[in-house]
Amino acid sequence: MIRFDHVHKEYPDGTIAVDDFTLEVPSHEVVVLLGSSGCGKTTLMRMVNRMVDPSSGSVSIDGDDVAHSDPVKLRRSIGYVMQSGGLLPHRTVVDNIATVPLLLGATRRSAHARASELLDLVGLEQSVAKRYPSQLSGGQRQRIGVARALASDPNILLMDEPFGAVDPVVRAELQRELLHLQNELAKTILFVTHDVDEAFLLGQQVLVLRTGAEVAQHGSPANILLDPADDFVANFIGGPRRHLRTEMRDGRHIVVDAAGHVTGVLQDDRGAAG
């Protein structure tokens, strides 16, 4: 369980990135921070592994204030998938994945064995093992980022727009795989995104944030969709785009949004399984 308790962060230049934020992320759940650029998502996330220290307030893991822990040890115990990737460009894929196990004292052999397990887990061919990050596609790099974060089997996973840099098809695939992984691994995941669909797909709880990490709404995806707290939330999650109705066309039901744009086809009961 991760707990943010009245956390406030002001950067040295005077930017108030997080004003007064409180949240409990229950163990084994996926909580998504959803908000537009600059609203303080990354700042919040980095407070968990002490890449950023709050100006006031506290962050605790299972009741222990992270401020009292050794940052290096703490970071080795938390998986972090960075917004920018952050792989070591001069190390091969296996070495990148094996980083944390090696830091924790695993032998090279066992760390590499673990790394190749993880390649399988994130759906990559063993043949990429000896490549360097610059020799991979964006989607492959993001998978390596996830594999690296999982390498030492941490309880907590911080994922900062991990699928931001790939095309929608690959993103959908990565999202599916993450759900699948989470079914198996049941980590405590704090996930950051500005993609509404991604947030609703992955999160058991979603927080819609405004500037300064002010919580506009906190709830389940259905909750937020059915009952947006205010206009800001309603707009952010798509506004009229999500006000859908069906129309008959050529004997079938099509789904159209408030503006009349076609967004999908309603499957009848026979085809619903597809």
Partner 1 sequence: MIQFADAFAWLVDPANWPGPNGITARILEHLWYCLLALVLALVIAMPAGLYIGHTGKGRALAIGLTGALRALPSLGLLTLLAVTMSLGLRLAIVPSTIVLAILAIPPLLAAAYSGVEAVDPDVVDGARASGLNEWQIVGRVEVPLAAPLLVGGLRSAVLQVIATATLSAFLGLGGLGRFILDGQAVADYTRMLGGAILVIALALILDGGILLLQRWLVPSGVSIALGTGRLEGR
Ligand X SMILES: Nc1ncnc2c1ncn2[C@@H]1O[C@H](COP(=O)(O)OP(=O)(O)OP(=O)(O)O)[C@@H](O)[C@H]1O
When asked if residue 49 is in the footprint of ligand X (CB under 6 A), the reply is no
Give me the phi and psi of 196, to 5 degrees please.
-60, -45
Least Å distance, CB 76 to partner 1, is: 3
Judge whether 160 and 83 are in contact, CB under 8 Å: yes
| 64 DSSP assignment | E
Give Cβ neighbours of residue 203 (< 8 Å, ≥ 6 apart): 30, 31, 32, 34, 191, 221
215 closest CA partner among 226, 205, 203, 225:
205
Kindly state the tokens that stand for 24. Answer: 């409990």
Residue nearest to ligand X (CB): 42
Residue choice 4, 30, 41, 224 for contact with ligand X (CB under 6 A): 41
Cβ proximity to partner 1, 43 vs 92, nearer residue: 92
| Residues numbered 34-93 forming contacts with Mg ion, rule: CB under 5 A | 42
Q: Quick one: what does residue 254 bind among Mg ion, ligand X, partner 1, none, with the CB cut-off 5 to 8 Å set by partner type?
A: none
Q: Quick one: what does residue 13 bind among ligand X, partner 1, Mg ion, none, with the CB cut-off 5 to 8 Å set by partner type?
A: ligand X
Strand partners, 261: none
Q: What's the gap between Cα 94 and its chain centre?
A: 23
Q: Quick one: what does residue 37 bind among ligand X, Mg ion, partner 1, none, with the CB cut-off 5 to 8 Å set by partner type?
A: ligand X
Print the binding letters for residues 117-146 with ligand X: x by CB under 6 A, - otherwise.
Answer: ------------------------------
Q: What's the gap between Cα 64 and its chain centre?
A: 23
Q: Quick one: what does residue 100 bind among ligand X, partner 1, Mg ion, none, with the CB cut-off 5 to 8 Å set by partner type?
A: partner 1
Residues that bind Mg ion (CB under 5 A): 42
